[in-house]
Amino acid sequence: MSDQNNNTGQKGKADTDHINGNGAANSQGQSMWGGRFGGGPSAIMQEINASIGFDKRLYREDIAGSKAHSAMLAKAGIISDADRDAIHRGLDQVKAEIEAGQMEFRAELEDIHMHVESRLRELVGDAGARLHTGRSRNDQVATDFRLWTRAAIDQLDTAYVELLSAIVTNAEQYAGAVMPGFTHLQTAQPVTLGHHLMAYYEMLSRDRARLADCRKRVNENPLGAAALAGTSFPIDRHMTSEALGFDRPMANSLDAVSARDFALEFLSVLTISAVHLSRLADEIVLWATSAFRFLKLSDGFSTGSSIMPQKRNPDAAELVRAKVGRIMGAQNGLMMVMKGLPLAYSKDMQEDKEPVFKAVDDFALCLAAMTGMMQDFRPDTEAMKRAAGLGFSTATDLADWLVRVLGLPFRDAHHVTGAVVKEAENRGVDLSDLPLDAMQAVEPRITADVFNVLTVDASVSSRTSFGGTAPANVLAAAKAAKESLK
């Protein structure tokens, strides 16, 4: 999107949009930027220069910004009230035509700003030609992009709440369902499924908070910075900021038109959250395998095989797991676009919107898919509990008992427990099935009371420290989460 800061008073009668040989043309046959040029752009130049294929998504924001700008121009006495009213009527009609699919998008008009302005001038004549007073496409597109990103953040926040609510509902339902907790993907200690799910609630809640924090920096107004240096017209940037719901106008005109760190931050938040969704998706994939058998996905989020009729593939989870690559790629791509760009605007920055649009589409789909899987979540709690008892998962409970009851230093208790585990392994039994005399052969002071801590239920119930896996803790955490989501 190239620099443009038209003055008032452009003349000419409405006509059909066309190219006059000097580049993008307005409805009067005048080039939007071609007065400086004697020849027109090549077909290849037009193709590489045009952004309408993707920035047409900004039409609502572009029209809203133009309405705010023209209202401000009228209040400041820069244009007449009659021109303002005509502009607003025309913009309403342009919006209606776009939403009805009646606007023909053409590469020669380059972008959504020129399409809206060109059609506006057809509809209202000279009044439409005065709209661009005191602004540039540089501050115009920055404003549109921030408005779009802000709306995307708000829509994603609603989707986060739906997913988090589904996770909390499951956590509450399975607060006491025992499952193995893993480190290195090896059985470590028993935990509850509710506790495991609440870990993802915490991760995704932080992502939601990061998104809200990002919104604060998105919500600043570039409009009125013009091409890069501001404008000589007596505009009121605070008025347009209030009209568009921005917190404040951006303080530096160079920064206003050239900053894209808000988009980079937004993509960074999406990337982090996509990683979290990918981790949860991977666990769903693992849990749905015949080796784990922890859960069965519904038909709605599974697919079959073209050759193996027995297969039920967790494709929704696998695709959520994969989408992080696309979202991270969008972030890296925009980083490369912005790296080393001098102030203020460069055409490179036209490449800012497409990766953000696509990343938001992909991420919103991931949130929706994960919400669906969480709402369809049907774990096999008996299989999980059986697995929780394997691999000597209550060994730490034995060590803790030795410290608490016998007064052993933990390192000594760790050594004793290791020897007891080795004996159970040699006999092919779990700790709770190892005879008392076998334990006493390692540490004579061990009593039958030790068997009270060696079951998986006793293990999880004992983990009452703040943030621990005890069912009562999980229920309290779920209750607090439900309150925060209201």
Active-site residue list: 184, 305
The CA-atom distances, in angstroms, between 449 and each of 401, 423, 442, 445 are: 9, 19, 16, 11
Please state at what angle helix 261-287 crosses helix 193-218, rounded to 10 degrees: 170
Of 116, 71, 113, nearest to 90 by C-alpha is 116
Please state at what angle helix 81-99 crosses helix 59-75, rounded to 10 degrees: 170
Q: What share of the chain is helix, strand, coil (3-state, %, to 5)?
A: 65, 5, 30
H/E element, 250:
none
- Quick count: other Cβ atoms within 10 Å of Cβ 245? 12
Strand 186-192 to strand 220-221: parallel, antiparallel, or no bridges (unpaired)?
unpaired
Give the distance from CA 454 to its chain's centroid.
43
Token reading at 406: 């016998």
Omega within 30 of 0 (cis) for the link into 364: no
Helix (H/G/I), strand (E/B), else coil: 221: strand
